Amino acid sequence: MADSTRFWRDLAPVHSFEDVAEIQSYTPLPDNWVIVIGDITGSTEAIEAGRYKAVNMVGAAVITAVLNALPGYDVPFVFGGDGAALAVPAAAEPAARGALARLKRHAREMFGLDLKAGCVSAAAVRVVGYDVAVMKVALGGENTLAMFAGGGLSTADYWLGVAQAGDPMLVETSEETARPDLEGLSCRWQPIAPEGGVVLSLIARSADPSPEGERGHVRRVMAGLSDIIGKDVAVAQPVSEAGLVFKWPPAGLDLETRATAGRKWRIRRQTEILTQSLIQYGCEATKGRIGYYDARRYREETIANTDFRKYDDMLRLVLDVTMDQAARIDMFLRAEHGAGRLFYGSHHARAALMTCLVFSLTDSRHVHFIDGSDGGLTLAAVQLKRQLDEAMRGQAAP
């Protein structure tokens, strides 16, 4: 098979989120690429214990650990709240597995969270009748987000959930003491208060998995949301100039220290973060610039580079809406579910949380993962899974 390692790098991006509905325009992942997926086991219980920021941090660390283990590669990824998924060339699978094996140990030792991770080829999901196709959506500068369609990602996630010890797809916990490279992972902004009053995290999955069904589903849901919001859904972006608040010491100091200390003494790493964030705090207070950090530019780029809209076999949205709009959206989704057109989950929160992945300030390469506080996408996924289980039981009934 011809070398496909540059597949994602060479894929042309689209420049409008509306294009994600055009399922026929997605590009199939090469057969020899591998889906890499990680989910936190017991994330619901961790959230109930008030540890959602730690859950978000480890979920984003799945992406960070794999990307840092693959220098020179450009690969698609998507954040799901309590986990994440990527796709990598077959040649990069051993390095990705190694990074996740180290992260599994690190998540348990540093955060008390169990991460389940696995890898499966695109060819394997096609054998059972699903596909994994991708679309690259441009953000600000050269930053992009990946969208996935075809059911392959959901299939891999299901296989991971039911996999037992000894399954070849599973990544085993590393016996080594080496920690994963999580350079660039941070969570320094304060929780973001919504202008409308509610941060709505929602997941909507088509009941018809065919390409035509997915296309109609995305169009119908986005149109319904736009009608309720009164404008394009983009105006409900939960990260705004007013909402970006930076304090010192920064929010998430302990989490970032534990995540990124690596081989350094934790007190040394904490001192580094405190020093860096003090400079950032000074820039934010004056709207000025010191070295590579330009407060005005970074704020503008941060707002442009958030992942509040995405598609990975289902719509995932985190929106800033009013209480009335949130209630109407829930009614709309309930009606669509009642009509047999979709399955969904939603969660209302008083703030949004942002976890950042900064590749390079000089090149303006950074993306920001958004979720609702107190449960967000994870609790929405619990509701969605409950509906899917009920539907399965209904089909099995005589």
pLDDT for 3: 65
**pLDDT tens-digit series, residues 146-175:** 999 999 999 999 999 999 999 999 999 988
Mean pLDDT value across residues 30-50? 94
**pLDDT tens-digit series, residues 301-348:** 999 999 999 999 999 999 999 999 999 999 999 999 999 999 999 999
For Cα atoms 361, 364, 370, give the angle at the middle one, nearest 5 degrees. 95
144-149 and 289-290 strand pairing:
unpaired
**pLDDT tens-digit series, residues 258-295:** 888 876 778 999 999 999 999 999 999 999 999 889 99
Q: First and final CA of the chain: distance in angstroms?
A: 47
pLDDT for 2: 53
- Within 8 A by CB and 6+ apart from 207, the residues are 213, 217, 340, 341, 342, 343, 391
- Long-range pairs, 174-179, Cβ under 8 A, ≥24: 174/98, 174/101, 174/102, 174/104, 174/105, 176/102, 176/105, 178/102, 179/102, 179/105, 179/106, 179/261, 179/262, 179/263
Q: Distance (Å, rounded) from C-alpha 125 to C-alpha 130? A: 6
Q: Which of 216, 187, 192 is nearest to 204 (CA)?
A: 216
pLDDT for 178: 84
Mean pLDDT value across residues 356-380? 93
pLDDT for 398: 57
Q: Which position has the higher pLDDT, 205 or 142?
A: 205
Position 242 pLDDT exceeds 60: yes
**pLDDT tens-digit series, residues 34-43:** 999 999 999 9
pLDDT for 1: 45
Q: Which position has the higher pLDDT, 266 or 56?
A: 56
Which domains, and CATH codes, for the chain?
7-181 (3.30.70)
Q: Which of 177, 180, 147 is nearest to 70 (CA)?
A: 180
Mean pLDDT value across residues 228-237? 93
Looking at residue 131, the DSSP 8-state letter turns out to be: B
